[in-house]
Structure 1
Amino acid sequence: MNERINELIRKRNQKLRKAYTRPVIESPTSATVVPCAKLDTGLRPNITKMNIEHDKTKLKMAPSWFDADDAQEALRGIVYPSNTVDQRPFNTIARYRMATGQSNNFRQQSLNIDENSTETLILMLDAFAQQFGADLSFTNDELPFDEGAYRTACGVANLGSAHLLPTNNIPTAGFSVLVHLDYDKNLAKSNDTMKEFLLNFTLAIARKLNIPEDYVRIFSVEKSTETPNTTIVHFGLTSPNQKETKQMADDFQEQARSGFGENALLHYIKPADYPYSWAPALSYLQLRPNDFAPDYNMDYRKSGMPESQHRGGYTYYLPIGWYRHALKVDQKYPDDAVWLGSTNGKGEWPVAFHGTNSSKISGVASKGLIISATENDFAREEAVEQMGPGMDQQGIYLTTHCNGGAHPQYTRPFCVQLPDRTNKTFRVVFMCRVQPGKFTTHHVSTSTGLIWRVVDPDAVRPYGILVKDEDTLDKIQPNP
């Protein structure tokens, strides 16, 4: 995996060096025309959203290989139920329905809210994405699930990598730098001038740090209220590996202390000791309707379900009381499908659960699986003792039990408002397979069963999303 990413980075940097021609340096005055590098437009990231306001511009950036769906087309002619207050759930489902060829008339085809409804699952994933500042995007193009860490680092996750977001495994190093350019005169006077600045600033940072351009994303640009004729640029650096991201951030921080005097665009950055902060940052969670596999959905709410089975030589504790929405994972990974077997045979990957805190549709920031564990990486030292120095990296934590393990302490309820203005509350858990030999096992007194710690993101493969109606919580007994 690392070799493939390094090869992609090497080829990308070769293209960047060929595509970039340094422009002439100009003095940083309020009348300065912002220099524009000559770019190969095929290398540019996409600015998928940009809203220029009086004192601030907000935007979303995504890699060139990403295409956002046409939300405006999906909402054309939409018919909401009578007395609708919150339109967002209907707008989200209208976009999903356009991708599946269904009607956006919600009076004729009502919104389906239930544990076993794909539309309910879509709304939960929308709430999940909002926690990280991301939007849903729908596509009918094939979405590969391998190299999920690389794609997530570029700002676009899918159902094969969404579980990585709350683990702090692929965090973004966020900077806010002061630039000696006037927001009104130099940048915000037109969409074109702002766009050219954003794209050239991104390229200049990438070239200066010798990293892929997709690893640099600008989140917003705002007029400084403290220093006249200056602008604050908020941007982030992300790579698939946290140590690599830290090195990138430290390199920028060190160079910014003395300034970028010889760079035609970056020399406008005021020399300073800029701090950076860590947080997951995503632009889009991309969904392909065909990646849901309803034929393989499973209702664990039915009576008579066994409490445990075996997968890959490990005990599999069934998520009693939940409904599983299956993901279409065949042909998503380069190896065979033995890993997904259910006969407890050789080559199968065992089952574990990833309880991800969610929030209300309005979007309240929250944290993910095993909050204290992922913040402190409590099992890191023990993992190194079990499997050696290769485990001395940021860990991803999973549980062997859904009830009493991932849930309820590591899930959080979120609400969907029904047309009659009542609320329906659900919880969500990722159901995963974990590669044998790639995890260590740990005990936590507050959790039923074991905790598994993984450092390789590709060693965890979600194959289902569990949904639970909050109203049934007290009816289900945790697995022993």
Structure 2
Amino acid sequence: MATNNWVENDLERVIQSFNPANFFGLPSYLFDKKGDLRYCNEEPIKLIRGKWDYYTPFRGWIRYGLNIDKFGSSGAHWLACDGAAGEWAVGFHGIRRDVLEVMKSIAFEGFKVFQGSHSEWGTTSVDIGQNASIFNQKTCGKGVFLTPKIKHLTENIEHCRLTKPIQYNKSYYVETALQCRIHPKKIRVPECSKNEYYVVNDPTYVRPYGILIHFLTEVQAKSILDDNNFNLAPAIPFVK
């Protein structure tokens, strides 16, 4: 019991001293404490944003708010939480390779359509989402991948976890994801994803508004790193 209390107290000390700007090597003006949130719910809570379901993070996850001024002062409606006109959906984006470098790229340049190897998953799958009739192409095509459930990033099948733990200090690692708003009319749902993932072809319709952090012990992190191949692309079996 004493050992557990020490671990909990030590982790709390680490959390209280954690500075996301310093850790990610980003300027402090990119953050906004008004968006900070420490999740206390034991299980994800189902909510609706932009007429799309999403499931909140849960205990263990901490959100560090981002400065949204770069999206313009006229865009407040996209962050609505009451079903108002102009409200955008919510999705999570995991980073599984080169975490610090990718985070910096997104912070300064925004999301990009991934063009590297292993970028074909889901792109040729038929769109089965509620927006399918809006698009000329039946298949989803390339874009930014997101999910309405953060668990889909951390509990992915086939040893292909979509968040990679990176070392913070001698005792702890962190895994990270971006919490984003998504234009609800730009979301595509690949048939092969079992409704677990979205594709947004144009990255300008994905707006990050928070960095999510989850602290892991060294033992937890090394177990994840040993059990997953972070060089693989997301692998979800096709469902007819």
Normalising by the smaller structure, the TM-score range is 0.5 to 0.7
Equivalent residue of 2:204, what SS? helix
Among 368, 376, 379, the alignment partner of 2:120 is: 376
Q: Deviations over 1:122-147 (max 9, x none)?
A: 35524xxxxxxxxxxxxxxxxxxxxx
- The reply to whether residue 412 of structure 1 matches residue 164 of structure 2 is yes
CA–CA distance in structure 1, aligned partners of residues 128 and 191 of structure 2 = 15
Among 460, 464, 470, the alignment partner of 2:206 is: 460
CA–CA distance in structure 2, aligned partners of residues 354 and 339 of structure 1 = 18
CA contact (8 A) 1:341 1:348 kept: yes
CA–CA distance in structure 2, aligned partners of residues 358 and 308 of structure 1 = 29
1:136-285 superposed matches below 5 A? none
Identify the residue that residue 346 of structure 1 maps to in structure 2: 85
Change over 3 Å in CA distance of 1:378–1:304 after alignment to 2:
closer
Asked which structure has the greater CA Rg, the reply is: 1
Identify the residue that residue 293 of structure 1 maps to in structure 2: 32
Change over 3 Å in CA distance of 1:379–1:433 after alignment to 2:
same
- The reply to whether residue 470 of structure 1 matches residue 222 of structure 2 is no
Amino acid of the structure 2 residue aligned with 1:456 = D
Identify the residue that residue 114 of structure 1 maps to in structure 2: 14
CA contact (8 A) 2:143 2:200 kept: yes
CA contact (8 A) 1:429 1:466 kept: yes
CA contact (8 A) 2:122 2:140 kept: no
| TM-score, with structure 1 as normaliser | 0.34
Range that drifts further, 380-389 or 433-442: 380-389
CA–CA distance in structure 2, aligned partners of residues 453 and 423 of structure 1 = 36
- The reply to whether residue 318 of structure 1 matches residue 56 of structure 2 is yes
CA contact (8 A) 1:383 1:453 kept: no
Root-mean-square deviation (CA, aligned residues, Å) is 3.9
1:115-134 superposed matches below 5 A? 115=15, 117=17, 119=19, 121-122=20-21, 124-126=23-25
Range that drifts further, 458-467 or 405-414: 405-414
Structure 1: gaps (5+ residues): 1-111, 127-286, 362-368, 475-480
Aligned residues: 190
Q: Deviations over 1:181-236 (max 9, x none)?
A: xxxxxxxxxxxxxxxxxxxxxxxxxxxxxxxxxxxxxxxxxxxxxxxxxxxxxxxx
CA deviation after TM superposition for structure 1 residue 354, in Å:
0.2
Change over 3 Å in CA distance of 1:373–1:463 after alignment to 2:
farther
CA deviation after TM superposition for structure 1 residue 290, in Å:
2.3
Higher relative contact order (CA 8 A, sep 6+): 2
Change over 3 Å in CA distance of 1:413–1:317 after alignment to 2:
same
Equivalent residue of 2:199, what SS? strand
CA deviation after TM superposition for structure 1 residue 117, in Å:
4.8
CA deviation after TM superposition for structure 1 residue 314, in Å:
1.5
CA–CA distance in structure 2, aligned partners of residues 374 and 434 of structure 1 = 24
CA–CA distance in structure 2, aligned partners of residues 461 and 473 of structure 1 = 31
Percent identical? 24
CA–CA distance in structure 1, aligned partners of residues 23 and 192 of structure 2 = 28
CA deviation after TM superposition for structure 1 residue 336, in Å:
2.5
